[in-house]
Amino acid sequence: MRACIFGCQGTRLSKDEKTFFAEAQPWGFILFGRNCESEAQIEALCADLREAVGRHAPILIDEEGGRVSRLRPLGGRIGPKAEIFAKSALSPEDTRAAVRANYAAIGARLASMGIDVDCAPVLDLPAKDADPIIGDRAFSTDPAITASLGQACLEGLNDGGVSGIIKHIPGHGRADVDSHKALPVVSASQDELQAHDFLPFAALKDAPMAMTGHVIYKTFDPDNAATCSSIMIKEVIRGRIGFDGLLMSDDLDMKALRGRLTARTEAALAAGCDVVLQCNGVLDDMQEVAKAAPILRGEALRRAMAARTKASVNAFSRHEAEAQADAWMARIDGGRV
């Protein structure tokens, strides 16, 4: 297994993709809207991806609900934006139950198609003057509420048979630009970040997987985004926050990072990421990343294997999970909360 996660081009694998994946042996795969035509087609694609590498490789998708949903073109239940839960008048206990039910329904739908990892929850705490890329994807600006609802999200996904990924560690909420487009710089002091932004991640440090943020935290490392910063990964993410699960980069294709994909891959792995995520599905780009990404070994392999053992067998059927989630949403949307 190689220290990378790849996308693919379309709704079916080409002969060249099958050959490449068989040779490269990426740890896992990620799906996007371009790969999603119908639930039956997605299930077949997942099977083909795993057949190409000869094992039950993890298959990821960004299915947060709200505006980040790769399944939206298919119709069916998507789930609301994250902020709706904490803004309701439900009690804290009921809010957690509603979040858990929502993500159990999302997880059960994904699991029914063969997808077993969801890139959620978002634990970022959006600042008032920040770029809106996080915005309503976040549960709250309050660290304690975000941690509580983030844990409920992980539990719900697990109920549905899917593992979650906490993101974007150590916190993207203050970012002044969208890291898809440019490199954000956060100037907050180390004390401010420790007392606020890092808290939800520290509370969920036992999560199986986390995704880095392509953000410079100027008071820690003024030169490198967290993804490519050994200071941020070793001293902050592994040290202060205490996260010991599988750490993956955010997408290497994002414009926050500079240089060729080879350099980006090498920098992220040298800094301490266990695996890199490269999403565009372009064969030449994937070949470049594969040449720079080593076979998983040592601590990275241990974490990768541990991450694969933490998702449960479906606790609920998809029908049951969606019925429970819809019942909670009826209370929220019906004005009784």
Active site members: 180, 250
Q: Tally Cβ neighbours within 10 Å of residue 155.
A: 18
The helix or strand, by DSSP H or E, that contains position 6, with its residue range, turns out to be: strand 2-6
Give the Cα separation of 329 and 333 in Å (integer).
Answer: 6
The helix or strand, by DSSP H or E, that contains position 217, with its residue range, turns out to be: strand 216-217
CA quadruple 281, 283, 285, 290: dihedral positive or negative?
Answer: positive
Q: What are phi and psi of 59, to 5 degrees?
A: -125, 120
Q: What is the dihedral of CA 155, 157, 162, 163, to 10 degrees?
A: -60
Rounded-to-5 percentages of helix, strand, coil across the chain: 45, 15, 40
Q: Tokens 């996080």 appear where? A: 134
Cβ(265)–Cβ(289) below 8 Å = yes
Token pair in block for residue 323? 């019925």
